[in-house]
Amino acid sequence: MTTLKALLVGAGGMGKNWGKTLQENSEVEIVGWVDTRPGAAAEAVEERKLAASSGTDLGKAIAETRPDFVVDVTIPEAHHNVTLQALAAGVPVLGEKPMADSMAHAREMVSASEKFGKLYMVSQSRRYDAKLTAYRQLITEQVGLLGILNSDFYLGAHFGGFRDAMANVLLLDMAIHTFDQARYLSGTDPVSVYCEEFNPAWSWYQGDACATALFEMTGGLRYSYRGAWCSEGKNTSWECDWRAVGPHGSALWNGTDASEAEVVVQTGGFISKLEPRVAGVLDEGHSGIAGSLRDFITAMKTGATPMGECHDNIQSLAMVFAAIESSSTGQRVPVIV
């Protein structure tokens, strides 16, 4: 079995999580670690007890280690430069979400993947959840083509640090996961959105920590999102509370337990006769970022298109920026990729 050489960029908390995940994968060898903060990468290499180089210069690290791929775990504002530099050097990239800090940068990154003919995938790690996949299967097999999809996200998250001062904190930092899951569950892409952001008087965030958005999706589906990061008590899961409605019934998932549905078995009365259905049990496989890594490695070795490939993932990012634009203008706006 051929081992793939990985160069890791970013040695913060999430970067260290990726370091552990890469180290635990038998098909990968970490050959280098880079962080712009002097000494940060060297500290991470020592912490993980790796036989890998460390430094602050990405270009130098690529030249010296000749990696098979780069893992970009930098801040969103740095994703553009890291990805373009790696792709231009002929190295595929597996990057953390969100793809970029703007749609203009995202489009340049997708164009670079095309120009240099190299894979660029964004790790939407929450797609790699067996219960989410089972919910999608339940919808497809029992509910039918969706006309309504709703998600509720309510948590009182006391992060401290930079998030407390972020503008559009809920939409920019968290909603990308939920919007991407909505596309995955429905098999549709965004068309337009009307969104309002707000911040209750008790919120500990400076920016808007709450949002309500209604998306029109391809095929006429309406997807609604309600979320708050300053909601204390009766929290939802991080995966949201979901309701999917189609011609044959409705399916619910609370993000934690197995999903359930009720489907029509007889019509004719005021209320149709319904019967329950429960999602099947699927193999857990590799979840979270380990699932992203496995999908990326498979794509590199077989040429298959992974979930999160940049041409697809930019649709999820476009939902975020269109929702922010709608909120700032007070208008329904098209979602433009």
Average pLDDT over residues 22-50: 96
pLDDT for 280? 86
Residue pair 105/129 in contact (Cβ under 8 Å)? The answer is: no
Q: How far is CA 288 from the centre of its chain?
A: 10
From the DSSP assignment, how many helices (H) and strands (E) are in the chain?
A: 10, 15
pLDDT for 287? 86
Q: Quick one: fold of 130-282+318-334?
A: Dihydrodipicolinate Reductase; domain 2 (3.30.360)
183-213 pLDDT, tens digit per residue, is: 999 999 999 999 999 999 999 999 999 999 9
Pick the CATH number of 4-118 from 3.30.2320.20, 3.40.50.10680, 3.40.50.720, 3.40.1260.10: 3.40.50.720
Cα–Cα distance measured from residue 309 to residue 317, given in angstroms and rounded to the nearest whole number? 12
* Torsion over CA: 253, 254, 256, 262 (sign): negative
Average pLDDT over residues 319-334: 98
Residue 2: both structure tokens together: 């051929």
Instruction: Flag whether pLDDT at 282 surpasses 80.
Output: no
Confidence (pTM): 0.94
Instruction: Flag whether pLDDT at 1 surpasses 60.
Output: no
Residue spans of the domains in the chain: they are 4-118, 130-282+318-334
